Structure 1
Protein backbone atom coordinates (compact mmCIF):
# COMPACT_ATOMS: atom_id res chain seq x y z
CA UNK A 1 0.00 0.00 0.00
CA UNK A 2 2.90 2.36 -0.72
CA UNK A 3 2.20 5.55 -2.72
CA UNK A 4 3.88 4.05 -5.81
CA UNK A 5 1.79 0.90 -5.51
CA UNK A 6 -1.40 2.92 -5.11
CA UNK A 7 -0.54 4.87 -8.25
CA UNK A 8 0.33 1.80 -10.33
CA UNK A 9 -2.84 -0.02 -9.31
CA UNK A 10 -5.10 2.98 -9.87
CA UNK A 11 -7.58 3.30 -12.69
CA UNK A 12 -6.43 5.15 -15.82
CA UNK A 13 -8.62 8.15 -15.00
CA UNK A 14 -7.31 8.31 -11.43
CA UNK A 15 -3.75 8.02 -12.72
CA UNK A 16 -4.36 10.97 -15.06
CA UNK A 17 -5.71 12.98 -12.12
CA UNK A 18 -2.68 12.14 -9.98
CA UNK A 19 -0.19 12.99 -12.72
CA UNK A 20 -1.95 16.28 -13.42
CA UNK A 21 -1.90 17.24 -9.75
CA UNK A 22 1.78 16.30 -9.38
CA UNK A 23 2.67 18.43 -12.40
CA UNK A 24 0.63 21.30 -10.96
CA UNK A 25 2.49 20.92 -7.66
CA UNK A 26 5.89 21.04 -9.42
CA UNK A 27 4.78 24.10 -11.41
CA UNK A 28 3.56 25.75 -8.20
CA UNK A 29 6.85 25.23 -6.38
CA UNK A 30 8.75 26.58 -9.37
CA UNK A 31 6.66 29.75 -9.32
CA UNK A 32 7.05 30.09 -5.56
CA UNK A 33 10.85 29.93 -5.63
CA UNK A 34 11.41 32.07 -8.73
CA UNK A 35 8.82 34.71 -7.85
CA UNK A 36 9.97 35.00 -4.25
CA UNK A 37 13.60 35.46 -5.30
CA UNK A 38 12.65 37.96 -8.01
CA UNK A 39 10.54 40.02 -5.63
CA UNK A 40 13.35 40.10 -3.06
CA UNK A 41 15.84 41.32 -5.70
CA UNK A 42 13.48 44.01 -6.97
CA UNK A 43 12.72 45.32 -3.48
CA UNK A 44 16.41 45.42 -2.58
CA UNK A 45 17.28 47.29 -5.79
CA UNK A 46 14.41 49.76 -5.26
CA UNK A 47 15.51 50.52 -1.70
CA UNK A 48 19.12 50.98 -2.79
CA UNK A 49 18.16 53.48 -5.50
CA UNK A 50 15.80 55.36 -3.18
CA UNK A 51 18.47 55.65 -0.49
CA UNK A 52 21.01 56.97 -2.99
CA UNK A 53 18.53 59.42 -4.48
CA UNK A 54 17.61 61.11 -1.20
CA UNK A 55 21.29 61.79 -0.62
CA UNK A 56 21.74 63.67 -3.90
CA UNK A 57 21.16 67.36 -4.52
CA UNK A 58 20.97 67.32 -8.33
CA UNK A 59 18.12 65.22 -9.71
CA UNK A 60 19.18 65.49 -13.35
CA UNK A 61 22.76 64.55 -12.52
CA UNK A 62 21.52 61.57 -10.52
CA UNK A 63 19.41 60.34 -13.45
CA UNK A 64 22.37 60.74 -15.80
CA UNK A 65 24.64 58.78 -13.47
CA UNK A 66 22.00 56.06 -13.07
CA UNK A 67 20.92 55.85 -16.70
CA UNK A 68 21.31 52.08 -16.64
CA UNK A 69 19.38 51.61 -13.40
CA UNK A 70 16.42 49.34 -14.12
CA UNK A 71 14.96 49.34 -10.60
CA UNK A 72 11.34 50.26 -10.02
CA UNK A 73 12.36 53.33 -8.04
CA UNK A 74 14.37 54.58 -11.01
CA UNK A 75 11.37 54.01 -13.28
CA UNK A 76 9.10 56.06 -11.02
CA UNK A 77 11.77 58.74 -10.78
CA UNK A 78 12.28 58.99 -14.55
CA UNK A 79 8.55 59.11 -15.25
CA UNK A 80 7.98 61.86 -12.69
CA UNK A 81 10.98 64.00 -13.67
CA UNK A 82 10.27 63.63 -17.40
CA UNK A 83 6.71 64.85 -16.83
CA UNK A 84 8.04 67.69 -14.68
CA UNK A 85 10.35 68.85 -17.48
CA UNK A 86 7.55 68.64 -20.06
CA UNK A 87 5.22 70.63 -17.82
CA UNK A 88 7.79 73.38 -17.13
CA UNK A 89 9.38 73.60 -20.57
CA UNK A 90 7.43 76.73 -21.47
CA UNK A 91 6.83 77.99 -17.95
CA UNK A 92 4.21 76.94 -15.42
CA UNK A 93 0.77 78.13 -16.43
CA UNK A 94 -1.14 75.86 -14.05
CA UNK A 95 0.85 74.38 -11.16
CA UNK A 96 -2.07 72.22 -9.97
CA UNK A 97 -2.47 70.63 -13.40
CA UNK A 98 1.28 70.01 -13.55
CA UNK A 99 1.18 68.26 -10.16
CA UNK A 100 -1.69 66.06 -11.36
CA UNK A 101 0.22 65.06 -14.48
CA UNK A 102 3.32 64.22 -12.45
CA UNK A 103 1.23 62.12 -10.07
CA UNK A 104 -0.38 60.27 -12.97
CA UNK A 105 3.02 59.52 -14.51
CA UNK A 106 4.31 58.16 -11.21
CA UNK A 107 1.18 56.08 -10.64
CA UNK A 108 1.48 54.60 -14.13
CA UNK A 109 5.08 53.56 -13.43
CA UNK A 110 4.05 51.93 -10.15
CA UNK A 111 1.14 50.16 -11.85
CA UNK A 112 3.45 48.80 -14.56
CA UNK A 113 5.83 47.41 -11.93
CA UNK A 114 2.96 45.91 -9.95
CA UNK A 115 1.56 44.26 -13.06
CA UNK A 116 4.92 42.71 -13.91
CA UNK A 117 5.50 41.44 -10.38
CA UNK A 118 2.00 40.00 -10.02
CA UNK A 119 2.39 37.94 -13.18
CA UNK A 120 1.76 34.20 -12.56
CA UNK A 121 0.37 34.77 -9.07
CA UNK A 122 -3.00 33.93 -10.57
CA UNK A 123 -1.62 30.45 -11.28
CA UNK A 124 -1.07 29.91 -7.56
CA UNK A 125 -4.59 31.07 -6.84
CA UNK A 126 -6.00 28.77 -9.52
CA UNK A 127 -4.08 25.71 -8.30
CA UNK A 128 -5.03 26.48 -4.70
CA UNK A 129 -8.73 26.66 -5.50
CA UNK A 130 -9.04 23.95 -8.18
CA UNK A 131 -6.61 21.21 -7.06
CA UNK A 132 -8.78 19.96 -4.14
CA UNK A 133 -11.77 19.55 -6.47
CA UNK A 134 -9.66 17.76 -9.07
CA UNK A 135 -8.44 15.43 -6.33
CA UNK A 136 -12.04 14.97 -5.19
CA UNK A 137 -13.01 14.01 -8.73
CA UNK A 138 -10.33 11.30 -8.63
CA UNK A 139 -11.68 10.16 -5.28
CA UNK A 140 -15.24 9.93 -6.51
CA UNK A 141 -14.14 8.05 -9.61
CA UNK A 142 -12.08 5.62 -7.52
CA UNK A 143 -14.93 4.94 -5.12
CA UNK A 144 -17.29 4.33 -8.04
CA UNK A 145 -14.76 1.82 -9.37
CA UNK A 146 -14.63 0.16 -5.95
CA UNK A 147 -18.40 -0.24 -5.86
CA UNK A 148 -18.28 -1.73 -9.35
CA UNK A 149 -15.65 -4.21 -8.17
CA UNK A 150 -17.83 -5.12 -5.19
CA UNK A 151 -20.80 -5.74 -7.47
CA UNK A 152 -18.70 -7.78 -9.90
CA UNK A 153 -17.11 -9.94 -7.22
CA UNK A 154 -20.32 -10.21 -5.21
CA UNK A 155 -18.10 -9.79 -2.17
CA UNK A 156 -18.08 -6.96 0.36
CA UNK A 157 -14.94 -8.02 2.21
CA UNK A 158 -12.31 -5.41 3.06
CA UNK A 159 -9.80 -7.06 0.71
CA UNK A 160 -12.03 -6.19 -2.23
CA UNK A 161 -13.04 -2.71 -1.12
CA UNK A 162 -9.83 -1.36 0.43
CA UNK A 163 -7.53 -1.03 -2.63
CA UNK A 164 -9.95 1.08 -4.65
CA UNK A 165 -10.82 3.32 -1.73
CA UNK A 166 -7.13 3.77 -0.88
CA UNK A 167 -6.40 4.81 -4.44
CA UNK A 168 -9.31 7.22 -4.33
CA UNK A 169 -8.21 8.83 -1.09
CA UNK A 170 -4.64 9.06 -2.38
CA UNK A 171 -5.90 11.26 -5.21
CA UNK A 172 -7.46 13.62 -2.65
CA UNK A 173 -4.21 13.67 -0.68
CA UNK A 174 -2.25 14.70 -3.78
CA UNK A 175 -4.82 17.41 -4.48
CA UNK A 176 -4.31 18.83 -1.00
CA UNK A 177 -0.55 18.49 -1.37
CA UNK A 178 -0.74 20.72 -4.45
CA UNK A 179 -3.33 23.16 -3.09
CA UNK A 180 -2.07 23.94 0.42
CA UNK A 181 1.39 25.31 -0.56
CA UNK A 182 -0.20 27.25 -3.43
CA UNK A 183 -2.68 29.00 -1.14
CA UNK A 184 -0.06 29.79 1.51
CA UNK A 185 2.41 31.08 -1.08
CA UNK A 186 -0.25 33.16 -2.85
CA UNK A 187 -1.24 34.90 0.38
CA UNK A 188 2.37 35.46 1.41
CA UNK A 189 3.54 36.75 -1.97
CA UNK A 190 0.49 38.98 -2.31
CA UNK A 191 1.25 40.48 1.09
CA UNK A 192 4.89 41.09 0.13
CA UNK A 193 3.79 42.64 -3.17
CA UNK A 194 1.45 44.99 -1.29
CA UNK A 195 4.36 46.04 0.93
CA UNK A 196 6.49 46.61 -2.17
CA UNK A 197 3.82 48.79 -3.75
CA UNK A 198 3.47 50.74 -0.50
CA UNK A 199 7.22 51.46 -0.50
CA UNK A 200 7.05 52.71 -4.09
CA UNK A 201 4.01 54.83 -3.28
CA UNK A 202 5.78 56.44 -0.32
CA UNK A 203 8.79 57.21 -2.50
CA UNK A 204 6.49 58.65 -5.15
CA UNK A 205 4.71 60.85 -2.59
CA UNK A 206 7.98 62.24 -1.26
CA UNK A 207 9.23 62.84 -4.79
CA UNK A 208 6.03 64.63 -5.79
CA UNK A 209 6.39 66.83 -2.72
CA UNK A 210 9.92 67.80 -3.77
CA UNK A 211 8.86 68.47 -7.37
CA UNK A 212 5.85 70.46 -6.14
CA UNK A 213 8.17 72.77 -4.23
CA UNK A 214 10.23 73.22 -7.40
CA UNK A 215 7.05 74.09 -9.30
CA UNK A 216 6.33 76.85 -6.81
CA UNK A 217 9.75 78.35 -7.51
CA UNK A 218 9.54 77.90 -11.28
Structure 2
Protein backbone atom coordinates (compact mmCIF):
# COMPACT_ATOMS: atom_id res chain seq x y z
CA UNK A 1 0.00 0.00 0.00
CA UNK A 2 1.29 3.40 -1.00
CA UNK A 3 1.32 5.78 2.00
CA UNK A 4 2.74 8.81 0.18
CA UNK A 5 -0.65 10.60 -0.31
CA UNK A 6 -1.31 10.18 3.40
CA UNK A 7 2.06 11.68 4.27
CA UNK A 8 1.45 14.65 1.94
CA UNK A 9 -2.02 15.25 3.43
CA UNK A 10 -0.57 15.31 6.92
CA UNK A 11 1.93 18.00 5.90
CA UNK A 12 -0.71 20.41 4.51
CA UNK A 13 -1.60 23.21 6.91
CA UNK A 14 -5.38 23.47 7.36
CA UNK A 15 -5.41 26.52 9.64
CA UNK A 16 -7.77 29.35 8.71
CA UNK A 17 -4.89 31.62 7.81
CA UNK A 18 -3.26 28.96 5.59
CA UNK A 19 -6.55 28.22 3.83
CA UNK A 20 -7.08 31.94 3.24
CA UNK A 21 -3.54 32.35 1.90
CA UNK A 22 -4.03 29.49 -0.61
CA UNK A 23 -7.45 30.72 -1.78
CA UNK A 24 -8.00 32.41 -5.12
CA UNK A 25 -8.47 36.17 -5.37
CA UNK A 26 -12.24 35.79 -5.80
CA UNK A 27 -12.56 33.66 -2.67
CA UNK A 28 -10.40 36.10 -0.70
CA UNK A 29 -12.58 39.02 -1.80
CA UNK A 30 -15.74 37.14 -0.83
CA UNK A 31 -14.29 36.29 2.59
CA UNK A 32 -13.26 39.90 3.17
CA UNK A 33 -16.68 41.14 2.04
CA UNK A 34 -18.43 38.76 4.43
CA UNK A 35 -16.14 39.68 7.34
CA UNK A 36 -16.64 43.41 6.74
CA UNK A 37 -20.40 42.90 6.43
CA UNK A 38 -20.41 40.97 9.69
CA UNK A 39 -18.49 43.70 11.51
CA UNK A 40 -20.81 46.37 10.07
CA UNK A 41 -23.89 44.34 11.08
CA UNK A 42 -22.66 43.82 14.63
CA UNK A 43 -21.88 47.53 14.93
CA UNK A 44 -25.45 48.37 13.90
CA UNK A 45 -26.90 45.72 16.21
CA UNK A 46 -24.95 46.95 19.23
CA UNK A 47 -25.72 50.60 18.46
CA UNK A 48 -29.45 49.84 18.09
CA UNK A 49 -29.49 47.81 21.30
CA UNK A 50 -27.97 50.72 23.22
CA UNK A 51 -30.24 53.27 21.50
CA UNK A 52 -33.46 51.30 22.09
CA UNK A 53 -32.57 50.62 25.72
CA UNK A 54 -31.91 54.34 26.25
CA UNK A 55 -35.14 55.30 24.42
CA UNK A 56 -37.18 52.86 26.51
CA UNK A 57 -35.70 54.26 29.73
CA UNK A 58 -36.33 57.86 28.65
CA UNK A 59 -39.92 57.02 27.64
CA UNK A 60 -40.58 55.42 31.03
CA UNK A 61 -39.25 58.46 32.86
CA UNK A 62 -41.31 60.81 30.68
CA UNK A 63 -44.47 58.70 31.08
CA UNK A 64 -44.19 58.88 34.86
CA UNK A 65 -43.82 62.67 34.72
CA UNK A 66 -46.60 63.09 32.12
CA UNK A 67 -49.16 61.00 33.99
CA UNK A 68 -48.20 62.30 37.44
CA UNK A 69 -51.07 64.78 37.47
CA UNK A 70 -48.82 67.84 37.47
CA UNK A 71 -49.76 70.67 35.06
CA UNK A 72 -48.41 70.16 31.56
CA UNK A 73 -47.07 73.72 31.50
CA UNK A 74 -44.81 72.82 34.43
CA UNK A 75 -43.59 69.71 32.65
CA UNK A 76 -42.92 71.76 29.52
CA UNK A 77 -40.90 74.28 31.52
CA UNK A 78 -39.02 71.46 33.23
CA UNK A 79 -38.06 69.92 29.87
CA UNK A 80 -36.78 73.26 28.67
CA UNK A 81 -35.67 74.33 25.22
CA UNK A 82 -33.68 71.15 24.53
CA UNK A 83 -35.70 67.98 25.16
CA UNK A 84 -33.54 64.85 25.23
CA UNK A 85 -35.85 61.85 24.91
CA UNK A 86 -38.07 60.92 21.97
CA UNK A 87 -41.27 61.35 23.99
CA UNK A 88 -40.04 64.68 25.32
CA UNK A 89 -39.38 65.93 21.78
CA UNK A 90 -42.86 64.95 20.62
CA UNK A 91 -44.45 66.53 23.70
CA UNK A 92 -42.37 69.69 23.26
CA UNK A 93 -43.42 69.98 19.62
CA UNK A 94 -47.09 69.77 20.60
CA UNK A 95 -46.76 72.20 23.51
CA UNK A 96 -44.76 74.70 21.45
CA UNK A 97 -47.45 74.71 18.77
CA UNK A 98 -50.19 74.89 21.41
CA UNK A 99 -48.58 77.99 22.94
CA UNK A 100 -48.21 79.62 19.52
CA UNK A 101 -51.88 78.92 18.76
CA UNK A 102 -53.28 81.31 21.37
CA UNK A 103 -54.50 84.79 20.57
CA UNK A 104 -53.76 87.73 22.84
CA UNK A 105 -57.09 87.24 24.63
CA UNK A 106 -56.18 83.60 25.43
CA UNK A 107 -58.51 81.90 22.96
CA UNK A 108 -57.21 79.33 20.49
CA UNK A 109 -56.93 80.47 16.88
CA UNK A 110 -58.83 78.60 14.17
CA UNK A 111 -57.23 75.34 13.10
CA UNK A 112 -55.07 75.09 16.21
CA UNK A 113 -55.89 71.44 16.78
CA UNK A 114 -54.84 70.50 13.24
CA UNK A 115 -51.61 72.48 13.58
CA UNK A 116 -50.80 70.79 16.90
CA UNK A 117 -51.52 67.36 15.39
CA UNK A 118 -49.37 68.15 12.36
CA UNK A 119 -46.41 69.36 14.44
CA UNK A 120 -46.61 66.27 16.64
CA UNK A 121 -46.87 64.01 13.57
CA UNK A 122 -43.72 65.60 12.15
CA UNK A 123 -41.92 65.04 15.45
CA UNK A 124 -43.13 61.42 15.62
CA UNK A 125 -41.93 60.75 12.07
CA UNK A 126 -38.54 62.29 12.78
CA UNK A 127 -38.04 60.26 15.95
CA UNK A 128 -39.18 57.06 14.21
CA UNK A 129 -36.78 57.76 11.36
CA UNK A 130 -33.93 58.24 13.82
CA UNK A 131 -34.77 54.96 15.56
CA UNK A 132 -35.02 53.08 12.26
CA UNK A 133 -31.85 54.40 10.64
CA UNK A 134 -29.44 51.63 9.72
CA UNK A 135 -32.06 48.88 9.69
CA UNK A 136 -32.20 48.89 5.88
CA UNK A 137 -28.47 48.17 5.74
CA UNK A 138 -28.91 45.37 8.25
CA UNK A 139 -31.78 43.86 6.26
CA UNK A 140 -29.83 44.08 3.00
CA UNK A 141 -26.76 42.41 4.48
CA UNK A 142 -28.87 39.73 6.13
CA UNK A 143 -30.71 38.86 2.94
CA UNK A 144 -27.71 38.89 0.58
CA UNK A 145 -24.93 37.41 2.73
CA UNK A 146 -26.00 33.76 2.23
CA UNK A 147 -25.88 34.16 -1.54
CA UNK A 148 -22.51 35.90 -1.42
CA UNK A 149 -21.23 33.07 0.75
CA UNK A 150 -22.52 30.49 -1.71
CA UNK A 151 -20.82 32.38 -4.52
CA UNK A 152 -17.54 32.10 -2.64
CA UNK A 153 -17.81 28.31 -2.61
CA UNK A 154 -18.09 28.03 -6.41
TM-score when normalising by structure 1: 0.58
Asked if the contact 1:56/1:62 (under 8 Å) is kept, the reply is no
Residue number in structure 2 paired with 1:151 = none
Shift of 1:24: 0.9
Within a 5 Å distance, the mapping from 1:17-96 to structure 2 comes to 17-67=30-80, 68-90=82-104, 91-94=107-110
Residue number in structure 2 paired with 1:10 = 23
Structure 2: runs of 5+ lacking an equivalent: 1-13
Which of 117, 123, 126 is residue 137 of structure 2 equivalent to? 123
Cα distance in structure 2, aligned partners of 1:119 and 1:93 = 37
Cα distance in structure 2, aligned partners of 1:19 and 1:103 = 49
Query: Which of the two has greater helix per residue?
Result: 1
Q: Classify the secondary structure of the residue corresponding to 1:88.
A: coil
Within a 5 Å distance, the mapping from 1:168-187 to structure 2 comes to none
RMSD: 1.7
Shift of 1:66: 2.1
Asked if the contact 1:53/1:62 (under 8 Å) is kept, the reply is yes
Cα distance in structure 2, aligned partners of 1:41 and 1:93 = 37
Post-superposition Cα deviations, 1:196-217, rounded to whole Å, max 9, x if no partner, equal xxxxxxxxxxxxxxxxxxxxxx
Q: Classify the secondary structure of the residue corresponding to 2:84.
A: coil
Shift of 1:88: 2.1
Residue number in structure 2 paired with 1:112 = 126
Asked if the contact 1:77/1:106 (under 8 Å) is kept, the reply is yes
TM-score when normalising by structure 2: 0.80
